[in-house]
Structure 1
């Protein structure tokens, strides 16, 4: 995810990360207990929230996201705008996990 995409998705990422305090806490705890993993069980619970948040983006934000996607992907054939927007779900989840990792190692009171 480049800087422009992060700027567009900044509020979405924050919302997804903090929509449920308990889930956020559990993800941080899994990261702290397990160390680096490719996938944490709790991170899958953020997927539907990320999809919903992306679908609620304003039309100009969706268009800006689609333009950024088109800049970095040569093949535009047979891909709908909805598919492009939803392709950002794993990137949002990756950013949430990054933020949770940072937060986990900063947390002192468990």
Structure 2
């Protein structure tokens, strides 16, 4: 994530994390006890919440994300659904990164 994306998506990641605390604990547990994986089963629990939050971004925030997406995808047509799918993956990666950090800080499992 670049600076603009982090400014917009950072609070969104926090809202998604706080909206599903049980899945957050499970994700922390899986990242801590299983080590690095390409896929964690608990990450699926966040898909709906992420897409919901991305669809409800303000018009200015979404247009900023659209501009950032357009910088990377210059040849392909820009569609709202492609932008949401791309940034939902970015948000999942950030959730996993935060879960790994939080897992190492957790004392009592």
- CA-CA distance at 1:94 after TM superposition: 0.4
Report the equivalent of 2:68: 68
Report the equivalent of 1:38: 38
Q: How does 1:5-24 map to 2 (within 5 A)?
A: 5-24=5-24
Structure 2 counterpart SS, 1:88:
helix
Structure 2, unmatched stretches of 5+, are none
Q: Number of aligned pairs?
A: 109
- CA-CA distance at 1:59 after TM superposition: 0.7
Distance 1:47 1:64 in 2: 22
CA deviation vs aligned residue, 1:45-72 (integer Å, no higher than 9, x gap): 1111100000010111101110111122
Report the equivalent of 2:84: 85
Structure 1 counterpart SS, 2:90:
helix
Query: Structure 1 length normalisation: TM-score?
Result: 0.91
Does residue 106 (structure 1) correspond to residue 102 (structure 2)? The answer is no
Query: Structure 2 length normalisation: TM-score?
Result: 0.92
Report the equivalent of 1:96: 95
Structure 1, unmatched stretches of 5+, are none
Structure 2 counterpart SS, 1:87:
helix
8 Å Cα contact 1:50/1:92 also seen in 2? yes
Distance 1:18 1:98 in 2: 15
Distance 1:21 1:98 in 2: 16
